[in-house]
Chains A and B, each alone.
Chain A
Amino acid sequence: MKRLIDPIMRAVDRHRTAFVALGLTMLVLASVIAGLYSEHLHQRQVIQAARVQARIVADSLSGALAFGDQATVSQITTAIRANPEIETLIVLDDKGIPVAHYGKTIMLLNGRNEQRADDGFTVRVPVEEKGVVLGTIILKQRSEALALRLARYAGAALLLVAGLLMLTLMAFDTRTLARTNRRLREVMDERERAEAALRQSQKMEALGRLTGGIAHDFNNMLAVIIGNLDLFARRYPDADAKMLRFISGSQEAAKRAAALTQRLLAFSRRQPLDPKATDVSRSITDLSDILRRTLGDAISVETLRAPKLWRANVDTTQFETALINLAVNARDAMPDGGKLFIECANARLDQSHAENEDDVVPGEYVMVAVTDTGTGMPADILAQVFEPFFTTKAVGLGTGLGLSQVHGFVKQSGGHVSLSSKVGRGTTVKLYLPRSFDAPDIPAAERIVRAEHGRRDKIVLVVDDETGVRDFVCEAVAELGYDVLSAENADQALDIFEEGMRIDILLTDVLMPGRSGRELADEVLARHGEMPILFMTGYAQDAIVHNGKLDAGTRLIKKPFTIDQIGVELERLEGAVQ
């Protein structure tokens, strides 16, 4: 109901001025019409009165007129004169000769029997008895003076204007009130949100301190237990096999307990972190195998990476743990399969974000959004999911520490987590990780390794995920007189192209985590048209060969290769282009 009424009220609010104007206009119109009608009624009354008066006078004068009784005529005329509404009276005998009269002005009747004028109404009636015409009466009935009438209307108009003025003022007053009220409501809502966020944050803080304290002590005790068990196992390697099995079982359990305390510490933000500039997209690529295994066949993974993604200043291992935790939750939310989207993008959180959410510092962040198409969560559960040991899973299936780890890790890293979910639609968790400024991205132009001798003034971009291979290939190509740039995966390589660097030859590995060399080549060709490309591969020709043939401007070199071999291939590519 409220949902229905609110838009209407808002519409009325928005068009209040129009509504008021319309109402007032109609009021004025109605008043004018009422005034005109009243005027019309008055005129009719005057006409009626004139006719009746004339007939009465005619009737009372008939005898006197018939028999020339001047005295009676004068007497009656004088009596009628006392009536101020009859302005003029003329009495004519049957010959048309005036017998008596009074009055100042006389309307020209122009042969008519009735004449209307602004100041009154004139009638002519015959004086007759049984059809015998004995004379004529001309009578003018005065209408109320125009000034008087106007004054009367002016009174009403004054009242109307006062009413209109009051209504207008009231309308504007209400409008201002409504606006103020709306603003107040907004402020109240804002404050409520802020208070809720603060309460939540305080609760998490308290929980963190509590669990942290316990976990810390517990961890120390576990260290003693594990140490002692270790010592026992070392000191008595020849002990009874059964006993050693007991010891080993205790060690296992203690280690699991230690892992649990680690996660508790992660939530309480007491775990030691080793933040460094991390390419989160790279981490996600590295994790893709594990993610796929975790999620199973029924769930497909789609990764989106914004170009020129910043590096995040986080502990890489903890970030990966967080990602796996999120994937596990997503999997559990999609028992019948679905899709998991992982999106990385740069994000600037401004002041308004900081005001609406608790603990957000405005600034630049790397945003990682994990979205599932699962069952979703209602708002009341959403509010609790970050609390440690809170779980919606059946007993024994979840520790309730997964999202706590995510929350603790992100908060400890100086970032921010946001959650949104719709029942039946899915859930999105957004991690805002602080941007790393420690290792500013060096422009590609400054990373070029220049050939020291025999320079050819050609730039070769080497792409390989294995550091050893990459370093060797770079050395070799530089030795051959080429300038060299390197990238450890297809995304980095594309970033270099994105920077607008001139690249003369692309030398890429075929099988790499993330996008393959083939995909990189397709992307580069799609974006830049012609580009000599040399693939390096140990096997799997089919990944680069179309219909048993290599594309024009494309060559293949098999690992391992010598410096001379790669030199020949590069020169062939150069020749092919020229």
Chain B
Amino acid sequence: MRRLRGIIRSLFAPGLVLALALTAGVAGAQPVANLETAVKATYLYKFAPFVTWPAAPGESLTICIIGADPFGDVLDRAIAGQGYNGRPFRVLRLPAIGVDSGCAVAYLGGSGHQSVASALQVLKGAPVLTVTQNSRSPGIIDFVNLQGHIRFQVDLAAASRNHLEISSKLLAMAAAVKNDGGAQ
């Protein structure tokens, strides 16, 4: 490991190495629960490149947090400097979602205003990648915790209903892929 470090140091400019060290330091200071949140936050935007929407996104690709927001600024920091086909990511926090909210990815946290289930109902057939957290009414992608690791399940039928194409690469990473034989 030490050798690899040495190699890395020789590969990158010192400034970048310093930045890495800082990042590691910040990560080390966070509690374990927060680490999980951070992983999920990065997953949230990393799903996007493996999904194809029926229409190309506009000026930016919007990630919506509906209801409870477990990520806080972790998500904002994760998407900083990243882009989808040259367009920046945008985070929109809404108490409830509608078809015309302009969301490409929607994390459904659930709230008093709109339960996860009702949000899913609203978004049925709309080109929105719905993401839920270990929910009884899961979205297209549902985070699960397997042996302490954050994984996810994919509901291909739901994706299909929402006119989304999911890359096989993403499916390969999924802990489980549900396909109830619905519309293809």
Q: List residues of A whose CB falls within 8 A of some B CB.
A: 62-64, 66-69, 72, 90, 94-98, 101, 106, 108-109, 111, 128-134, 138
Contacts and interface: CB of A to CB of B under 8 A. Distances in A.
A66 B173 contact: yes
A63 to B, nearest CB: 3
Interface in B140-156: 152
Contacts of A95: 20, 23
Given A96-B16, A96-B20, A98-B4, A132 B83 contact: yes
Given A95-B20, A95-B23, A66 B8 contact: no
26 contacts: A63-B172, A64-B173, A66-B43, A66-B49, A66-B50, A66-B173, A67-B173, A72-B172, A95-B20, A95-B23, A98-B4, A98-B7, A101-B4, A101-B7, A106-B10, A129-B169, A130-B84, A131-B83, A131-B86, A132-B45, A132-B46, A132-B48, A132-B84, A133-B82, A134-B46, A138-B11
Interface string B1-31: 0001001101111001000100100000000
Contacts of B86: 131
Interface in B66-122: 82-87
Q: Which among A63, A72, A97, A128 has the highest number of chain B CB atoms within 10 Å?
A: A63
A15 B12 CA distance: 65
Nearest to B3: A101
A109 B16 CA distance: 14
Contacts of A62: 49, 169
A130 B46 contact: no
B10 A130 contact: no
A238 B49 CA distance: 163
**Of B11, B13, B86, most A-chain CB atoms within 10 Å:** B11
B170 interface: yes
A129 B173 contact: no
A547 to B, nearest CB: 120
A159 to B, nearest CB: 44
A98 B170 CA distance: 21
Contacts of A67: 43, 46, 152, 173
A63 B42 CA distance: 13
SS of B interface (majority): helix
Contacts, number: 70
B177 interface: no
A62 B170 CA distance: 9
Nearest to A92: B8
B111 to A, nearest CB: 27
Contacts of B8: 96, 98
Contacts of B167: 63, 129
A69 to B, nearest CB: 6
Nearest to B151: A67
B176 interface: no
B157 interface: no
Contacts of B85: 130-131
Nearest to B19: A96
A549 B173 CA distance: 144
Given A63-B167, A63-B169, A132-B45, 18 more contacts: A62-B169, A63-B50, A63-B170, A63-B172, A64-B173, A66-B46, A66-B49, A90-B11, A95-B23, A96-B20, A97-B20, A98-B8, A101-B4, A106-B7, A131-B85, A132-B82, A134-B49, A138-B11
Contact of B13 (A90, A111, A130): A111
A109 B173 CA distance: 32
Q: Could you say which of A90, A106, A132 has the most chain B C-beta atoms within 10 Å of its C-beta?
A: A132
B82 to A, nearest CB: 6
3 smallest A-B Cβ distances: which pairs? Answer: A129-B49, A63-B169, A130-B49
B173 A69 contact: yes
A131 B20 contact: no
Contact of B173 (A63, A96, A98, A133): A63
Nearest to B79: A132
Nearest to B8: A98
A42 B79 CA distance: 42
B20 to A, nearest CB: 6
A106 B12 CA distance: 12
A69 B171 CA distance: 13
Nearest to A64: B173
Nearest to B47: A66
A202 to B, nearest CB: 104
A130 B129 CA distance: 16
B83 A108 contact: no
Contacts of B39: 68
A109 B8 CA distance: 11
Contacts of B42: 94
A132 B49 contact: yes
Contacts of B84: 130-132
Nearest to B7: A106
B50 A96 contact: no
Contacts of B23: 95
Residue from the set A72, A128, A129, A134 with the largest chain B CB neighbour count within 10 Å: A129
Contacts of A130: 48-49, 84-85
B118 to A, nearest CB: 29
A128 B16 CA distance: 20
A62 B50 CA distance: 10
B109 to A, nearest CB: 21
A188 B86 CA distance: 94
A109 B82 contact: no
